[in-house]
Amino acid sequence: MAATLRHSEQRKRCALKPRLLSTISDSPWPCSGGIFDPDRAKARLAELDREAEAPNFWSDPARAQTIMRERQQLETALSRFARLARELDDNIELVALGEEEGDASVVAEAEHALNKLHAEAHQGEVEALLSGEADANDTYVEIHAGAGGTESQDWAQMLERMYIRWGEGRDYKVEIIGEHPGEEAGIKSATILIKGANAYGWLKTESGVHRLVRISPFDSNARRHTSFASVSIYPAVDDTIAVDIDEKDVRIDTYRSSGAGGQHVNTTDSAVRITHLPTGIVVQCQNERSQHKNRATAWAMLRARLYEAELKRREDAAQAAAAAKSDIGFGHQIRSYVLQPYQLVKDLRTGVESTNPSAVLDGDIDRFIEAALAERIHGEERPT
Note whether residue 2 is domain-resident. Answer: no
Residue 86: which residues within 8 A CB-CB, separation 6 or more?
none
Domain extent, residue 45, equals 7-128
Note whether residue 239 is domain-resident. Answer: yes
Residues 199, 137 contacting (CB under 8 angstroms): yes
Residues 176, 284 contacting (CB under 8 angstroms): no
Same domain assignment for residues 176 and 49: no
Residues 310, 323 contacting (CB under 8 angstroms): no
Same domain assignment for residues 143 and 114: no
pLDDT in tens, the chain (384 residues): 443 333 334 333 333 333 333 333 344 434 444 456 788 889 999 999 999 999 999 998 878 888 888 888 888 888 988 999 999 999 999 999 999 999 999 999 999 999 999 888 877 777 777 767 788 889 999 999 998 788 999 999 999 999 999 999 999 999 998 889 988 889 999 999 999 988 999 999 999 999 999 998 887 787 888 999 999 998 887 655 667 787 888 888 887 766 554 444 455 667 888 898 888 888 888 877 778 888 888 888 888 888 877 777 766 443 444 444 445 655 568 999 999 889 999 999 999 999 999 999 999 999 999 889 888 765 544 443
The 281-285 sheet, strands edge to edge:
250-255, 271-276, 281-285
Q: HSE of 174 in the Cβ direction (CA atoms, 13 Å)?
A: 18
Supply the pTM of this predicted model: 0.63
Note whether residue 146 is domain-resident. Answer: yes
Same domain assignment for residues 166 and 233: yes
| CA dihedral angle for residue 356, residue 358, residue 363, residue 364, rounded to 10 degrees | -10
Same domain assignment for residues 223 and 85: no
Q: How far is CA 284 from CA 84, 176, 275, 276, 297, in A?
A: 46, 12, 9, 11, 8
Note whether residue 133 is domain-resident. Answer: no
- The domain tally of the chain equals 2
Q: What CATH number should be reported for the domain holding residue 269?
A: 3.30.70.1660
Same domain assignment for residues 207 and 273: yes
Residues 130, 374 contacting (CB under 8 angstroms): no
Same domain assignment for residues 90 and 230: no
- Short-list 360, 384, 372, 15, CA closest to 169: 360
Note whether residue 301 is domain-resident. Answer: yes
Give the end of a domain, one of 97, 128, 159.
Answer: 128
Same domain assignment for residues 83 and 224: no
Q: Which amino acid is at 210?
A: H
β pairing state of 208-215 and 353-354: unpaired
